[in-house]
A and B are shown apart, each in its own frame.
Chain A
Amino acid sequence: MLKFISGRFVVVIAVALTLSFITFFLLNVAIDPAQAVAGEEAEALEIEQVRQQYGFDRPILIRYFEWFKAVLTGDLGISYYWNKPVGSLLLERAPETITLALMSVLVTIFIAIPLGICAAINPNSVIDRMCLGVAVSFQAIPNFWLGLVMIIIFSVTFPIFPVSGDKTYFHFILPSIVLGASSVPPVMRLMRTGLLDVMEADYIRTARSNGFFGRKLILNHAMRNALLPVVSVLAVQLGHKFGGSVITESVFSINGLGRLALESILGADIPTVQILVFVFAFTFLILNLLADILNAYLDPRLR
């Protein structure tokens, strides 16, 4: 088990290092940082001035190593746009995004798993078809539009929920439904096929012949194995939630990391964007690692 974890951990670190370089490279070569800081209408002389002032004229590898060394010592750089250390910006904004991501995964769990079980218990029934229909349509609904329509229905026409903001947990209900809905189709499908596969297994037949049936059979025997892949997909989906928070947070005006990312991009604030891309990628990697470990722990065949 320890060998398995350490092996995976090495891969995570290697990927994280590669990604830090790729994002740094993309944001400094595909985009001219001096031009971005000076603005679109800037004169050539002005751009040149910015280039020297910020040190953009030095070789990219040297700048990468300097940046990397600073990040390792905890100095994430200074934001051009907010004129603040990027680290403190992150700490200010992170709680909102974490709340949103966790609540949206809860929404996914409470919608997708019961639907998947219902569909698997009665394959090819009306419920099954309806679940499939829901899955197909949810994949085609853009997240931001769902958010706006929810606001129109539940905040404007029937004023139940607040239109926007992040003051109380109540404010997070609509946004987390919107963000959670996008993960419902994959999780539901996996739950359904997983349960259908398990129900065919020999040990379920044995349990059946021993007199187990109905809810008891499914909850006590089948669910345990069918849930394994679902758990790891949920972890992956939680990772996606951080990246997906950009849209939901801007629709509902939540002051989290996603909104920070959008504002930083619009302000051409490369140091902040750089760190945010890396933070989202690293969160995703760590969640995946945790899912792998959890799966290996629950299923000894994987070790």
Chain B
Amino acid sequence: MILKTFIKRLVPRVLEDDISILSPKTVVLRKAIGHSGFKFGLLLFILIILLGILGPFFLDISPYQQDLDKRLLPPVWIEGGSWDHLLGTDGNGRDYLSRILSGTRISLTIGIGAALVGMIIGVTLGVIAGYFGGWIDQFVNYILTCQLALPGLLLAMTLVFLIGPSIPVVIIVIGCLHWTLFLVVTRSVTKRIVKLDFVSASNAIGATKLQIIMQDILPGIINQIIVIFTLEVGVAILAEASLSFLGVGIQPPTPSWGLLIAEGKEAIFFQPWLIVLPGIALFLLVVSINMLGDGLRDIMDPKSKLE
């Protein structure tokens, strides 16, 4: 330990020079290995995905199968629980572990889908505003101001419920209401890139606007987009859970976590685990995604130091 700090103090210059020899990929990889938050988030995320996608194949109990003789069984660690139902059963006698595990897929589908929709809207508007500037930029800015003032949750509730709650509708509505972060970042980075010499060079050799946007600008903003995409998946998952909890999102009997919590609300006095367990699942998934996103931001930032 002492030796390490001693060496660092002696040869900081050499270490910095060393980075310039390494290929960018190696630098990112090394940063990833040295970033404990990123590693933890990635591990937790992979674990949840494995449980959520492979888990249902190993459990031979369907999340929809009702057994009215075995209603509201407690989890195995509470008295009265049994090994047949590790996390107990819900008010209709359905296996809670199986329901929570299959909820993972619903959350992830909606989270990733909605973030994709938001990304398409935000990045398109952002690149257009940043590249063309002038009145187009001002117009996009005006749209942004309007979007920020809209009460997102309320509008999402109204649209999803009155159009007809289903997974595609939830994805599109949440996506259409969560694109502002993509826009803001894409626009500012595009503005910076447009001023660079290689864009003028492309312009000079007769590249079309579309070519410049696709080949010069997009590669420069992809890192930031990946980071925001990751974080927005977490935001969208929470939004879906809120909608389903309020009864205006995914409808029963589909095991969405928000819906499980809403159903557990009836049993808040005597079976609190019905509320606590899906909430923990939701929390772990979103925490892992957020840590992954924060980690990616640090890793992909060229200014961050290599340990």
Q: Which residues of A are in contact with B by a Cβ distance under 8 Å?
A: 11, 14-15, 18-19, 22-23, 26-27, 30-31, 36, 136-137, 139-145, 148-149, 151-152, 156, 242-244, 246-247, 250, 261-262, 265-266, 268, 273, 276-277, 280-281, 284-285, 288
Closest to A242 in B: B151
Q: A16 to B150, alpha carbons, bound, how many Å?
A: 10
A285, B148: Cα distance in complex, Å: 9
Flag if A265 contacts B275 (CB, 8 Å): no
B242 within 8 A of A: yes
Q: Do B154 and A261 have beta carbons less than 8 Å apart?
A: yes
Which residues of chain B (256-270) have a CB below 8 Å from chain A?
A: 258, 261, 264-265, 268-269
Say whether A148 contacts B248, CB under 8 Å.
no
Residues of B within 8 A of A246 (CB): 153-154, 157, 246
Given A136-B290, A145-B279, A152-B272, CB of A277 within 8 Å of CB of B247: no
In Å, the complex CA distance between A59 and B283 comes to 47
**Cα(A268)–Cα(B152), bound, Å:** 18
Q: Given A142-B238, A265-B162, A268-B162, is A247 in contact with B151 using a C-beta cutoff of 8 Å?
A: no
Checking A140, A144, A277 against B283 with a beta-carbon cut-off of 8 angstroms, the contacting residue is A140
- In the complex, per-residue mask of B216-246: 1 if CB is within 8 Å of any chain A CB, else 0: 0000000000000000001000100110011
How far apart sit A247 and B248, CA to CA, in the bound complex (Å)?
12
Task: Write the residues of chain B forming the contact surface with A, with a CB cutoff of 8 angstroms.
Answer: 142, 145-146, 148-155, 157-159, 161-163, 234, 238, 241-242, 245-248, 258, 261, 264-265, 268-269, 272, 275-276, 279, 282-283, 286-287, 290-291, 294
Measured between beta carbons, the chain B residues less than 8 angstroms from A152 are 268, 272, 275-276
Which chain B residue has the least Cβ–Cβ distance from A11? B145
Q: Which of A148, A247, A262 contacts B275 (CB 8 A)?
A: A148
Q: Which of B151, B159, B241 contacts A30 (CB 8 A)?
A: B159
The 9 nearest A-B residue pairs measured at CB: A243-B151, A140-B286, A145-B279, A280-B151, A31-B162, A140-B287, A281-B149, A152-B272, A144-B245
Q: In the complex, A31 Cα to B248 Cα: how many Å?
A: 15
User: Are B146 and A19 in touch, CB under 8 angstroms?
Assistant: yes
Contact residues in B for A156 (Cβ distance below 8 Å): 268-269, 272
Task: For A14, list chain B residues within 8 Å (CB).
Answer: 142
Contact status of A149 and B157, CB under 8 A, knowing A15-B145, A142-B241, A266-B247: no
Smallest CB separation, A33 vs chain B (Å): 9
- The complex places the Cα of A31 from the Cα of B264 at a distance, in Å, of 31
Once the chains bind, are A145 and B151 in contact (CB under 8 Å)? no
Interface of B is mostly: helix
Shortest beta-carbon distance, B116 to chain A, in Å? 20
Q: Which of A30, A31, A139, A145 has the most CB of B within 10 A?
A: A145
Sample of 17 more A-B contacts, CB < 8 Å, known A15-B146, A149-B279:
A19-B150, A22-B146, A30-B159, A139-B286, A140-B287, A142-B242, A144-B241, A144-B245, A144-B246, A145-B261, A148-B264, A148-B279, A247-B245, A261-B157, A265-B158, A277-B155, A285-B149
**B158 / chain A contacts, CB cutoff of 8 Å:** 27, 31, 265, 273, 277
Chain B residues with CB under 8 Å of A140's CB are 234, 238, 283, 286-287, 290
Contact A243 B152 (CB under 8 A): yes
* B residues in contact with A26, CB < 8 Å: 155, 159
B35 nearest CB across to chain A (Å): 14
Contact partner of B282 (CB less than 8 A), chosen from A136, A142, A151, A244, is A142
How far does the alpha carbon of A34 sit from the alpha carbon of B296 in the complex, in Å?
Answer: 48
Q: How far is the CA of A143 from the CA of B153 in the complex (A)?
A: 12
**Which B residue sits closest to A36, measured CB to CB?**
B162
B149 & A276 in contact (Cβ 8 Å cutoff): no
Q: Is the CB of B279 within 8 A of A142?
A: yes
Contacts of B157 in A (CB 8 A): 246, 261-262, 265
* Neighbouring A residues of B161 by C-beta, 8 Å: 265-266
Nearest CB of chain B from residue A238's CB, rounded to whole Å: 13
A22 to B142: give the CA distance in the assembly, Å: 13
A/B interface sample: 23 pairs, CB < 8 A? A19-B146, A23-B150, A31-B158, A31-B162, A36-B162, A136-B287, A136-B290, A137-B283, A142-B241, A142-B279, A142-B282, A144-B242, A145-B279, A149-B276, A152-B275, A152-B276, A247-B153, A250-B246, A261-B157, A265-B162, A281-B149, A281-B150, A288-B149
Q: Which residue of B lies closest to A137 (CB)?
A: B287
**Which residues of A have CB within 8 Å of B155?**
23, 26, 277
Cα-based distance from A265 to B246 in the complex (angstroms): 11
Q: Give A182 Cβ to nearest chain B Cβ, in Å.
A: 10
A30→B163 contact, CB < 8 A = yes
With both chains docked as a complex, state the minimum distance between the C-beta of B307 and any C-beta of chain A, in angstroms.
Answer: 15
CB contact under 8 A between A145 and B282, given known A137-B287, A247-B245, A273-B158: yes
Which of chain A's residues have a CB closer than 8 A to the CB of B151?
Answer: 242-243, 277, 280-281, 284
Q: Is the CB of B149 within 8 A of A19?
A: yes
Tell me which of A19, A145, A243, A250 contacts B154 (CB under 8 A).
A243
CA distance A269 to B195 in the complex (A): 51
From B154, B241, B269, give the contact of A280 (CB < 8 A).
Answer: B154
Q: Which of A18, A31, A136, A148 is within 8 Å of B291, CB to CB?
A: A136
Return B142 CB to nearest CB of chain A, in Å.
Answer: 8
Shortest beta-carbon distance, B243 to chain A, in Å?
A: 10
